[in-house]
Structure 1
Amino acid sequence: MIARGFSNPTERIEKLKRVILDATPYVESERAVLVTEAYKETEGLSPILRRAKAAEKIFNNLPVTIRDNELIVGAITKNPRSTEICPEFSFDWVEKEFDTMGSRIADPFQIPKQTAQELHDAFLYWPGKTTSDLATSYMSQEAKDCMGAGVFTVGNYFYGGVGHVSVDYGKILEKGFRGIITEVVEAMEKMDRCDSDYIKKQQFYNAIIITYTAAINFAHRYAEKAMELASAEMNSARKGELLQIARNCSKVPENGATNFYEACQSFWFLQCMLQIESSGHSISPGRFDQYMYPYYKNDPSITKEFAQELIDCIFIKLNDVNKTRDEISAQAFAGYAVFQNLCVGGQDEEGMDATNDVSYMCMETVAHVKLPAPSFSIRVWQGTPDEFMFRACEVTRLGLGVPAMYNDEVIIPALVNRGVTLNDARNYCIIGCVEPQCPHKTEGWHDAAFFNVAKVLEITLNNGKAGNQQLGPVTGDITTFSCIDDFFTAFTKQIKYFVHYLAEADNSVDIAHAERCPLPFLSALVDDCIGRGKSVQEGGAIYNFTGPQAFGVADSGDSMYAIQKNVFEDKTMTLTELKNALDANFGQPVGGKNTLSIDTNEMTTEMKVYEVVKKILSTNGSIDLSKLSDEVLGMGSVQNTCGANEYLKIQGLLNRTPAFGNDIDEVDMMARKCAQIYCKEVEKYTNPRGGQFQAGIYPVSANVLFGKDVAALPDGRLATMPLADGVSPRAGKDVNGPTAAANSVAKLDHFSASNGTLYNQKFLPAALEGDKGLQTFAALVRSFFDHKGMHVQFNVIDKKTLLAAQKDPDKYRDLVVRVAGYSAQFTVLAKEVQDDIISRTEQSF
């Protein structure tokens, strides 16, 4: 037997989990008030020292909260799964949503009136002083117009702090915060006063000392709180736990950990404090099994059961971290996503398999906790043990959307191609959704922008126009094009134009963070900021990248192939007929409302004809034009611009034209080409930190949100409907089975998309049952990776369950699904995101 099942979680874990599931997310005001006070008190200091003084005030004054049953302590907020506000990055969107944030369609947060008043008072200080304000002042009007039209957005760092990083957790476990202070003092002693950067370096080093001294005090405040609670605790067992917590917090993270429990507490304090310093999300634990294993292996006093419970507690604490965004961004990140990616398995720096006991314990924890966070990932290579692979597939069968699986055989050479050393590339971890980087040596600026490739195609089809606005360059009336190369020539020119302004916008935000919000606490844990005497925002990291990601690749490839097949090869329609059909949204109302639900009296003649054609096609699969007039007798003329001929041809696009995801080379190569055009253009640019732009292809859930900005496309997609997610085929288009779909995805140039690619597959649970199902499933993953796919993740759930959860959400509050590069509780997702997940093809072997 291969399958072995999972043990049951402890009663403590069930209670802690219930706190998360039952929590109502709140916006809290303490951090905003404290950071505002600090900035008012430090008007004359340099930006780096102001940041240090702000962190000092927050660490010394943020409320200390220890929740019932906790073994690992440390919280950002008083209420579970709530959020603080960081007005130094942006604030005005918060005030605009005081009355609506609690009822919006995606990720609502409650804001009590007293909290709103405290935030309002703090916000009075910030107009003109935020990173967002400064970044906006650097952007050209053209870049702002591109964002306004839905071509791209840089909202991730535009509105929040810089995240998407994995710091040196192992260094803190070994040396503690005191070790950081000692390292900085030694660096200061070596400084040359004649160095032109002496003053800036001195300021940076002083900022680290101030910040880390306050961070030590933050942990000591928890030790005092635990002692206070212990003195009043009547239950002897809990009293003993609180006393041990007090001992842990008085020791770590100030000093290095000496056992596994201390290492777990030290890890969590560091993770918590990184979130407190800035509002950046995707602060990723990285290769947790690698830096935690020595403390488990060398701890003679710990039992496997208690170590397992501690890891379970850490995973639950990761779900306590939350973040609010503006209403539009919340739709793109639907599901209270914070993207703390924790990765296990893979190779070590010498190219040997690195799987260990903690790797397996983390998978056991996923089965115990069954919550969205962390974004749990595994690394796979040719040397991955079969036992590890089967265990990962067992976890996948639980239906939680994890683990996401990554291919060492693609990612390592892709990173080496970007200038990362082989040893560092072998040590890569995953950041945020799907982004690979060398941990604690990289400022990757992953997820730097969403770029809507399908929107650029729409603009290409309209000679550079978005609606009535001439947004891009004039590249020609498509009805005059004579071959598909004409389309690609025009499309490439549009891509070049819009990528230029994407890079400008990203660099504007990048510069603003360096000038106004350098992060000393984070920077001290990224190599080689201390050695170089500068923050990560100023280029202190060894590797510096900017990673904007695209989506709409499959839609664009399918559309190009549809034009090639139907116009130039089969000649079943003219470009004029296609253009008219696109402009008319194939006769459907914009918004995708099904015309069958519209009263007949409200339907136009064209809509009635469309429905008749659609019914005939759905029944017969084809139609005899000579009989069409009988079917539509009494409906009026059908030979107008948007008449029966156009509708029939568009139905051919929808029903007969092959699509990406079916292992058909001529189709798949179209998608590959569309992706390559974007990736190659992106990598031409550099950032202010001295690094290169590198492209990714993944959407979070922006394929739903930004699909609303895209008109009808030649692949038959209606205006405003969701786009394909990541490198996945369009929902329902991959009809030749999971292997064919995976083969299509593997044909994309994943090496060029070194900022990460994202592939979702959805399986019926019955397909993976038993040992045979497990073996077949593992073989599918191995085959996909042998064909040079980069990443794959799975939803294992049936449509019936998802529809039931939509209908009765209270019964399914613990239902977790994979959205994109993250999992989320299904019932908290906006309905349109739920619908997108439901619509994905259900695969079976």
Structure 2
Amino acid sequence: MKNYYDGDIARSPRIARLIEDLYDHLPVIEAERAVILTESYQETEGEPVIIRRGKAFEKICHELPITIRPGELVVGSNTKTARGCQVFPEYSFEWLEAEFDTVEKRSADPFYISDETKEQLHEVYKYWKGKTTSELATSYMAEETLRAMEHNIFTPGNYFYNGIGHFTVKYEEVLESGFEGIIEKAEKELHRLKVSDEDYQKRSSFLKAAIMSCQAAIDYAHRYALLAASEAEKCKDEVRKKELLQIAANCARVPGRPATSFYEACQSFWFVQMLLQTESSGHSISPGRFDQYMYPYYEADMKAGKITREFAQELMDCIWVKLNDLNKCRDAGSAEGFAGYSLFQNLIAGGQDAEGNDVTNDLSFMCIEASMHEQLPAPSLSVRVWNGTPDEFLIKAAKLTRTGIGLPAYYNDEVIIPAMMSRGVSLEDARTYNIIGCVEPQAHGKTDGWHDAAFFNMLRPLELVFSSGFELGEQVGPRTADIAGMKSFDEFYDAYKEQMEYFIGLMVNADNSIDVAHAERCPLPFQSSMIDDCIGRGKSLQEGGAVYNFTGPQGFGIANAADSLYAVKKLVFEDKKLTLEEFKEALDDNFGKGISPQRVEELTARIAEQLGRAGVQAGENEIAVIAKTVRETPVPAEKQEKYDRLLQWIDELPKYGNDIEWLDMFARDVAYTYTKPLEKYRNPRGGQYQAGLYPVSANVPLGAQTGATPDGRLANTPIADGVGPVQGKDVSGPTATANSVARLDHFIASNGTLFNQKFHPSALSGIEGLTKFVSLIRGFFDQKGMHMQFNVVSRETLLDAQAHPENYKTLVVRVAGYSALFTTLSRSLQDDIINRTMQTF
């Protein structure tokens, strides 16, 4: 195959300036959208909610301030400042109001917020009390669900506090037909309805809201046409004046009408992407197969001599910069789990068409080149790999990996396509899949996947096996058998499965409650107008309008859970080196390495209770003294010696991740304790639950809420990320680790799996290093692994960046299913990346 494009065009000075402007200030929280939205809601009281949403979006498109940043070729920004963010009070607001005075100083993803903005938002929030989706969702949740969330068994934060994301719309339809074409389609459906139809009220309201929203997007673009023309009139620089006039012409045409050139297609794409983010605060709104739906416009312009490859590349580079301009503010806890200001906008290149032919093209290579030029976190570039993928394309992708920015991620068609088909997706739709957010596959333009619907910590149910479901004075989980009476590992493992199934059911209750709340309070007509078959069904996406409807919460901690359960099996039941009660005591005492906060609280409560029975009532000051004493009381020397011996025994056991087949198969069975029970559940949109196995970066903050575990992991330390082994426990090289991970059942985890590896830069040096690297990927995929992603950066560089962040402002690393600027991450997440095993060939 011809190597279409191999990096003969460098980053232009324009792109360098645009990137510099992105990062010369702290991101800013702006209030305009919240104010406009609230005014609209106050004006539409009593109207159907879908109409209110359409009118609110229309008002936002008409009144939100617009700006053209210096030097831009592709325009459209929902904030006045670069990397600023709007807020979305219809979903939740209490967390931001509580953080007004701390959001600028927090360790993860700080934002500047002015006193004026605080005052504006404080007034806005008065209206929204009792009206948010998060409040309604909470009211729907069962009492035991809320208790489980309080005890950090799982967290459904994505959609609990934010809008719906994790989707890819039909960008190609907007490019081919324009919003005028979508409006015409919706009007035809509206005219088919009869007022006597049983669902006329709902269908007609949705279609009217969709039409209203599409027209609002056209109006928004026309505002930019006028602004560009106005700026051109005042511009003294003839080169820039010509650029502004072309921008004005583009915005006057698209996205209202079909794109007639690659430049118009780029502008049309961007308006869609940016306005989707403006309608809803949901992240992972992913561009999908950009190289496929944009290629006809590029090819036609190239054949007609209307564009050069250099200018086409610069337009793409401009889009890559704009993707980094979009931003959102999360609560402090979520910011720790999604650190790096990421919006997870996944753009994927390569792969097959609906007939199974490889469709790698010139733009596929140029997507990689754009990320080489930018050296920025967004988009989350991915590549599809199958046995028809050209070697030239993988070598090009490997060269990008070698730069150290953690891009691209690699996905295996040979696993993902059949995994999707097992969930009811047609062969044709599965073959044209794209990735959403971190690692989640879906049929683009037809799916409401609710990916990332919750994070489920597989270690917390294991903790509760040791206490028969009891924790901190509450019966949190089922009252499983007392460990003192367990005679076999099977009894222990069955108790773990019982705890797992119970909490999976509660997680489903939480997700379904949130799902219903979004349908009732925040349907999204603009988003829904571009996903099949919402217009045909007369339903928003949130009401089940998509062809494919899923809910995809992810479990994480497989490596720790597998190593922990094996340690119990081997040390307690096979070698009989200690009892379960002795193991529990060691875990409660954190192996003597500093008592955990949970244990401090438990022992303090127990002592206060004993004092109460003796007639001594402990007040707040007395409780604080007791807690301080508990924290500072050292473990007796004899007990510490016993704990150190236990840690040595654990350390000597074989560990998942070292190509030990029987242990890897045990880990596969442990993963089934999450993936199999989840399959039986359905969501309110009529779709199936499907498991993912990845933590994003939540393995660090949620590990901080987890006690010590039998694999020797200390309390409140990170949990293993993704489906890879525990940090530092994979000691047999990258191929052995890949062999182990491949033995998990990636087909059942159809919501995605995540496999991180870290290489020293020397491992990918020269063509020999690149060739070995590509062979590793193909070998892992031949064994039916689903996904791989890489950090290529030395430990020394990361440690120096941690110590001297001012020297590494543009250092990008792979965090989880996304890349981020290293210096913007929390210290704990930086440490987690530093401590990942460094591989070499």
* Superposition TM-score, scaled by structure 1 size: 0.94
The corresponding residue for 1:259 is 261
Residue 436 of structure 1 aligns to a residue whose secondary structure is strand
Matches within 5 A, 1:389-538: 389-538=394-543
Matches within 5 A, 1:84-233: 84-233=86-235
The corresponding residue for 2:649 is 652
Structure 1 contact 151–498 (Cα < 8 Å) conserved:
yes
CA distance in 2, matches of 1:333, 1:368: 25
Among 59, 70, 73, the alignment partner of 2:72 is 70
Q: What is the one-letter code of the residue matched to 1:692?
A: Q
CA distance in 2, matches of 1:666, 1:484: 17
Structure 1 contact 435–755 (Cα < 8 Å) conserved:
yes
Structure 2 contact 589–596 (Cα < 8 Å) conserved:
no
Percent identity (aligned): 57
Structure 1 residues 116, 157: closer, same or farther in 2, change over 3 A?
Answer: same
Structure 1 contact 550–697 (Cα < 8 Å) conserved:
yes
Matched, 1:745 2:741: yes
**CA offset at residue 279 of structure 1?**
0.7
Structure 1 contact 581–650 (Cα < 8 Å) conserved:
no
Provide Cα deviations, 1:452-475, integer angstroms capped at 9, x if missing partner: 111111112221123432200011
Provide Cα deviations, 1:752-802, integer angstroms capped at 9, x if missing partner: 110000010000000111111111100000010011100010000010000
CA distance in 1, matches of 2:377, 2:409: 12
CA distance in 2, matches of 1:280, 1:646: 46
Structure 1 residues 605, 95: closer, same or farther in 2, change over 3 A?
Answer: closer
Structure 1 contact 590–720 (Cα < 8 Å) conserved:
no
Matches within 5 A, 1:273-288: 273-288=275-290
**CA offset at residue 604 of structure 1?**
5.8
Structure 1 contact 577–646 (Cα < 8 Å) conserved:
no
Matched, 1:810 2:806: yes
The corresponding residue for 2:607 is none
Q: What is the one-letter code of the residue matched to 1:700?
A: V
Provide Cα deviations, 1:170-197, integer angstroms capped at 9, x if missing partner: 0000010101111111111222333201
CA distance in 1, matches of 2:221, 2:640: 71
**CA offset at residue 160 of structure 1?**
0.6
The corresponding residue for 2:608 is none
CA distance in 2, matches of 1:268, 1:707: 38
Structure 2 residues not aligned, in runs of 5+: 598-630
Deviates more, 1:171-180 or 1:464-473: 464-473
Matched, 1:385 2:411: no
Structure 1 contact 455–709 (Cα < 8 Å) conserved:
no
Residue 700 of structure 2 aligns to a residue whose secondary structure is helix
Matched, 1:676 2:681: no
Matched, 1:702 2:698: yes
CA distance in 2, matches of 1:766, 1:568: 45
Residue 817 of structure 1 aligns to a residue whose secondary structure is strand
The corresponding residue for 1:359 is 364
The corresponding residue for 1:314 is 319
The corresponding residue for 1:635 is none
The corresponding residue for 1:576 is 581
Q: What is the one-letter code of the residue matched to 2:575?
A: D
Provide Cα deviations, 1:77-127, integer angstroms capped at 9, x if missing partner: 000001100101111111101000001111111110000000111111000
Structure 1 contact 478–487 (Cα < 8 Å) conserved:
yes
CA distance in 1, matches of 2:648, 2:584: 15
Q: What is the one-letter code of the residue matched to 2:821?
A: Q
Structure 1 contact 6–364 (Cα < 8 Å) conserved:
no
CA distance in 2, matches of 1:207, 1:645: 68
Provide Cα deviations, 1:64-86, integer angstroms capped at 9, x if missing partner: 11000100000010000011001
CA distance in 2, matches of 1:379, 1:159: 32
The corresponding residue for 1:623 is none
Matches within 5 A, 1:751-790: 751-790=747-786
CA distance in 2, matches of 1:322, 1:108: 12
Among 552, 560, 567, the alignment partner of 2:565 is 560
Residue 28 of structure 1 aligns to a residue whose secondary structure is coil
CA distance in 2, matches of 1:678, 1:373: 31
Structure 1 contact 21–814 (Cα < 8 Å) conserved:
no
CA distance in 1, matches of 2:632, 2:595: 14
**CA offset at residue 480 of structure 1?**
2.7
CA distance in 2, matches of 1:234, 1:725: 54
CA distance in 1, matches of 2:196, 2:361: 49
The corresponding residue for 2:614 is none
Provide Cα deviations, 1:437-487, integer angstroms capped at 9, x if missing partner: 000000000000010111111112221123432200011222432222112
CA distance in 2, matches of 1:545, 1:251: 36
Structure 1 residues 721, 258: closer, same or farther in 2, change over 3 A?
Answer: same
Q: What is the one-letter code of the residue matched to 1:447?
A: D
Deviates more, 1:573-582 or 1:255-264: 573-582
Q: What is the one-letter code of the residue matched to 1:832?
A: S
Matches within 5 A, 1:9-24: 9-24=11-26
Provide Cα deviations, 1:469-517, integer angstroms capped at 9, x if missing partner: 2200011222432222112200111111101110011000000000111
Structure 1 contact 406–791 (Cα < 8 Å) conserved:
yes
Provide Cα deviations, 1:155-182, integer angstroms capped at 9, x if missing partner: 1001010010000000000010101111
**CA offset at residue 19 of structure 1?**
1.4
CA distance in 2, matches of 1:235, 1:483: 81
Residue 22 of structure 1 aligns to a residue whose secondary structure is coil
Structure 2 contact 589–595 (Cα < 8 Å) conserved:
no
The corresponding residue for 1:250 is 252
Residue 731 of structure 1 aligns to a residue whose secondary structure is coil
Deviates more, 1:220-229 or 1:479-488: 479-488
Structure 1 residues not aligned, in runs of 5+: 593-601, 610-637
Structure 1 contact 343–379 (Cα < 8 Å) conserved:
yes
The corresponding residue for 1:820 is 816
**CA offset at residue 4 of structure 1?**
6.0
* Superposition TM-score, scaled by structure 2 size: 0.94
Provide Cα deviations, 1:382-428, integer angstroms capped at 9, x if missing partner: 11111111111111001010100000000000000000000000010
Provide Cα deviations, 1:654-680, integer angstroms capped at 9, x if missing partner: x21111111112322232112111111
Residue 478 of structure 2 aligns to a residue whose secondary structure is coil
CA distance in 2, matches of 1:764, 1:468: 48
Provide Cα deviations, 1:183-242, integer angstroms capped at 9, x if missing partner: 111111222333201111111111111111111110000011111111111111011100
Matched, 1:33 2:35: yes
CA distance in 2, matches of 1:354, 1:441: 21
Residue 127 of structure 2 aligns to a residue whose secondary structure is coil
The corresponding residue for 1:547 is 552
Residue 549 of structure 1 aligns to a residue whose secondary structure is strand
CA distance in 2, matches of 1:258, 1:605: 74
CA distance in 2, matches of 1:728, 1:6: 36
Provide Cα deviations, 1:698-747, integer angstroms capped at 9, x if missing partner: 11110001001111100000000000011111110111000011111111
Q: What is the one-letter code of the residue matched to 1:788?
A: K
**CA offset at residue 21 of structure 1?**
2.5
Q: How many residues align?
A: 803
Deviates more, 1:471-480 or 1:247-256: 471-480
Structure 1 residues 835, 782: closer, same or farther in 2, change over 3 A?
Answer: same
CA distance in 1, matches of 2:763, 2:407: 17
CA distance in 1, matches of 2:588, 2:347: 46
Residue 256 of structure 1 aligns to a residue whose secondary structure is coil
**CA offset at residue 534 of structure 1?**
0.6
Q: What is the one-letter code of the residue matched to 1:708?
A: A
